[in-house]
Amino acid sequence: MDLNCFDDVLVLLEERNMTRAAARRNITQPAFSRRIRSFEDWLGTPILERHANRIEISAALLANEEELRAMVANLREMRTRFTNFAPGRSSITIAAQHALTVSTLPDMTLRARAAFPNLDFRPRAGNLHDCVTRFLRGDASMLLCYEARSIPPLEFGTGVVRGHWGTDYLVPVVGGALRYTVKDTGWIPDDTPAIPYPEGSYFGDVLSRENRQFGTPGSSLGPVCVTAFSSGTKELVLHGIGVGWVPFSMVHREIASGELISLAYRYGREPLNIALFTDKTSAASLDLLSFWTR
């Protein structure tokens, strides 16, 4: 099965424009249009509403975008399992927030490999809503996420078990030339360029509810780049682009080396519990949860 046609549709959903979508797929716009028509022929129904002067994505396609993305991801994962099949091995799919796949999951995986040598780990990164959806839909055996004191905790039924991995902190940091603007008290000018999180993102909501300076566009006098990805925030901060809030586990080495300066003494820090969830019916996931939380 050639999944390129599905990739075409997913790119079109992202770009909402035939010309830009064709450019991303590195083909001409007429060739891209023919591929979309071929997909429509296979599907048996149009996915575009073609008018005299414009083309619009059908409501049916928009309504099923999440399911389409999940299906393509599952097909690719299944193909990988077939290709790399080895008797006696099993896999665990873990839906994890983006930051946790960078800051925490590598250490968790490293610790578990010795105890579970025949277990493969398949992380699926996303925002909290997407991760919860994957977990509830059964596309992931486990859910790895943050729990902040200002955000109501997730509530699942009695068939889901919760475990606690540890605690992290959101801390404000500066790097590059901005390190030299930090006073002995840890203060920096209020108009310092900032890399805030957007309103509606998980970290954005946490920092907004606690009124943390530089955390969101509304609490920053000089936002230069608004991003929901803490790994991107870290790189921008390292280059001196602005002050940003990131998980301490993601930057502790850079703080120790002096590449970054923590401003937590002056501007505070936000505690984050790291929680694990799994379904009671998954024996392998329960064993892994027990190992990670003992």
The series of mean pLDDT values per 10 residues for the chain, 294 residues long, is: 84 89 91 92 90 86 85 77 67 91 92 87 89 87 94 90 95 96 92 93 94 94 90 94 96 96 95 94 89 91
The reported pLDDT for the residue numbered 87 is 64
- Beta strand spans in 73-185 (E): 90-97, 119-126, 142-148, 160-175
Distance from C-alpha of 250 to C-alpha of 253, rounded to nearest angstrom: 8
Q: Which amino acid is at 80?
A: T
pTM above 0.85, yes or no: no
* Beta strands 160-175; 270-279: pairing state: antiparallel
Q: Which domains does the chain have, with CATH numbers?
A: 4-66 (1.10.10.10), 86-158+279-293 (3.40.190.10), 168-272 (3.40.190.10)
The reported pLDDT for the residue numbered 85 is 63
Closest CA to 172 of 270, 37, 103: 270
Distance from C-alpha of 149 to C-alpha of 255, rounded to nearest angstrom: 25
Sign of the four-CA dihedral 199, 204, 210, 214? negative
Distance from C-alpha of 50 to C-alpha of 56, rounded to nearest angstrom: 7
Distance from C-alpha of 139 to C-alpha of 74, rounded to nearest angstrom: 8
The reported pLDDT for the residue numbered 100 is 94
The reported pLDDT for the residue numbered 294 is 87
